[in-house]
Each structure stands twice: as C-alpha cells, then as structure tokens.
Amino acid sequence: MTQPPVSIEPIAVPPALDAPGAADFITVAELLNAQLREFWGNDDFYGPPQAQLAGRRSTPSRRREILAARAGADIVGVALVNLPLTDNLHSGTVNVVVAPSARRRGVGTQLYAAAEQLAAADNRRMLMAETDHLLSDETGPIAGTASLVPQDAAALFASALGFSLELVDRVSRLELGSPADDEAVLEQARAAAGADYELVFWSGACPADLVDAYALLRQKMSIDAPMGGLELAEEAWNEARVRESEAQARDMDAEVLVSAARKVATGELAGHTVLEIFRNNPAVVYQDDTLVLEGHRGNRLGMLLKAANLVRLREAVPEARRVYTWNAEENRYMLSINERLGFRPIGYSGEWQKGLSAE
C-alpha cells in the first residue's frame, strides 16, 4: 500500500501573532491569501494575518476549525471547517485549498476526508462548500444553476467528492464613479419611497434602542434570499449575536456602515443594508446583507437603502474605489437594483451541498 502523501493535523488559532506556535497559523493565512491572489489576479481579497486571527476564532455562535496538510516541514494545504452552534446544527461548511505545487496528488481529498470526519463526529449530516469562477469571454452569460458547467478544478473537485450544485451566485463589482451618480439615484428613490420611511445610519455598533429590531432583520436575511436547494433553516439572532458580529468586525479592523429604513408611523425597522471596509485596504468595499422585510416591499426601499449607503460610503471612506457583491442569479429584484447602481458581473460562485451518510 502506498503511504498517504501528507499528514493532516489541526492548527490552533494562537492568542497573538507573536505567541509561541503562531508560525503555522501565519503560514495557513498566507496560503489562503496566495490562493485568492492566484484566483482574482489582484490583492483585493487579501486578509492580513492579524485580521484572520480575529476572523478564524470560534465564537458562541460558530465553531471554527483549521486542518492543515503537512508534507515534512511544509504546510501544503488547508481545510477550514465552520459549524454553526445556535441554529442549523445539522450543517457545516468546508473550504479546501491546496498549494499549486501539491495539487492533483490527493491532498485535497485527504483534507476533505478529515474535515468530513470532524463534522460527522459533531453529528453534522449536511456539508456546504463554495467554489469561485471568473467570467471569461468563453463563459457567456450565466443564467441560473443549470448553466454553470462544472469543468474547472474547484467544480470538478467538489463533484468528485460527492457534492451537488444547489445555487449559483453572481459576483459583481461597482467601480465608484462620480458622486453625482448615486446622489441622483438616491433622490429618485427618495421621491419614489415617499415620506412613510426615514433612513437611520450607524457605523460599528447598532444603537441600543434598535438592536432587537436589527437582530430580526439579520435573522430574516438568513432565509429571505433565494437558497436554491440548500438545506438551511432560519438562523437565530438576538442582541448578543449582533454584538458578537460587531466585536469580530472591530477585531478584524473593519469598518461596518449600516443604513436602515424606519417606518415613521410605527418606528419599526423595515430593512437594512451593510457595507464593510477593511482598514488595511480601504479601496476595496464588500457589500454584505441587504433586506427589506416582507410587508414593506414594493416601496423602493431596497434602492433607497443601497443608494444612501453608497453616498455615505463616499463621505466616510473617500479612499473607496470599488464594491464587490454576491447575489443569487434567481434574485432578479436585487440584481436589477445593483445593475441600476452600476454593478457589472465579473464572475460567479457555486454553492454546493453534500449529505453525509449515517456511518
């Protein structure tokens, strides 16, 4: 029998980057960065090891594990495993990355097997994974799950492991143009939305009097966006979880800009949108949640919220140059808003799922 090519071992998240034993964590962080650079052809997704230190720790709502593949002294691959702790206890996510020099030798398969074992030992019966794909001239327009033809390494790897493709997200980018663009869109949306709703903004911590309402928005976001065949249930959000995510963003040196719409007559929050900026590279902005609660839809609040947050972004972060967003291809409503705001497709990502057998 041939020897396994590598040994798989857990990597702990150290208390600090200069703590004893932190070298392996830093190697893993840079391996992940190298893969992102290789894929995107730029450093827009570079995560400084210090930020990854904060982002890869377990929290009360999520257990996070790192498995590394070691060949001699070298770490040649990594599997990140996330296990929700307050909802969706049947599920977990896994992300496998192998260094280019070690690919196609079974390292990814070995890492995945260890990740699956870890998840199964925690009674998870469904694993999810994401694959990224850039649009090329040959790709043509992507119109939903059926047209994503799995033929690159990531998709063939996921298929070979027994995952099935459940949802396709479009990845779009907005190059921030002249301020007048969003100001004009904002004025139109304001006129269309009328006087029934007012905008509320915050950066970092949600005001205490809004936090329960904001937790509900975050919770609804987990099921209101299209999910294809992904077997995910509504997440459980409360004030503690909102504060946990705010603390994590702070520790990652991220600035989080939130715009919310409040119904004037009742004071209830009707929707929200979130932009995230990492201070190490403020040129790059990530669009996070956007949601309008059922019962408040059809009032142009989606456009109002997004245009308002973009206007605010330019004021708060003048270095911002481009915004990335992910939307399900079946989410026509959200895609239309983004297209109107100037977002253009640059790629897509596949969301995959695999049921684990009982043994």
Cβ 153 to ligand COA shortest distance, Å: 3
DSSP string, 83-121: EESSS-TTEEEEEEEE-GGGTTSSHHHHHHHHHHHHHHH
Cβ 155 to ligand COA shortest distance, Å: 8
Using an 8 Å Cβ cutoff, are 293 and 215 in contact? no
Using an 8 Å Cβ cutoff, are 67 and 115 in contact? yes
- Give 11 or 158: the residue with its C-beta nearer to ligand COA: 158
Sign of the alpha-carbon torsion through 117, 7, 105, 56? positive
- Give 131 or 219: the residue with its C-beta nearer to ligand COA: 131
The two structure tokens encoding residue 213: 């309402």
Helix, strand counts (H, E) of the chain: 9, 12
Q: Which residues contact 184 (CB under 8 A, 6 or more apart)?
A: none
The two structure tokens encoding residue 165: 């493709």
- Give 105 or 321: the residue with its C-beta nearer to ligand COA: 105
- Give 69 or 256: the residue with its C-beta nearer to ligand COA: 69
- Give 237 or 348: the residue with its C-beta nearer to ligand COA: 348
- Give 19 or 160: the residue with its C-beta nearer to ligand COA: 160
Cβ 36 to ligand COA shortest distance, Å: 9
Using an 8 Å Cβ cutoff, are 254 and 193 in contact? no
Cβ 221 to ligand COA shortest distance, Å: 24
Cβ 39 to ligand COA shortest distance, Å: 7
Within 122-270, where are the H helices?
Answer: 153-160, 179-193, 211-224, 239-251
DSSP state, 210? G
Within 234-294, where are the H helices?
Answer: 239-251
- Give 103 or 250: the residue with its C-beta nearer to ligand COA: 103
Cβ 8 to ligand COA shortest distance, Å: 12
Cβ 158 to ligand COA shortest distance, Å: 5
Using an 8 Å Cβ cutoff, are 292 and 55 in contact? no
Cβ 259 to ligand COA shortest distance, Å: 33
- Give 157 or 237: the residue with its C-beta nearer to ligand COA: 157
Position with the least CB separation from ligand COA: 108
Residue ranges with strand state E in 211-329: 254-263, 269-278, 284-292, 322-328
* Interface with ligand COA (CB under 6 A): 35, 95-98, 103-109, 129, 131, 153-154, 156-158, 160
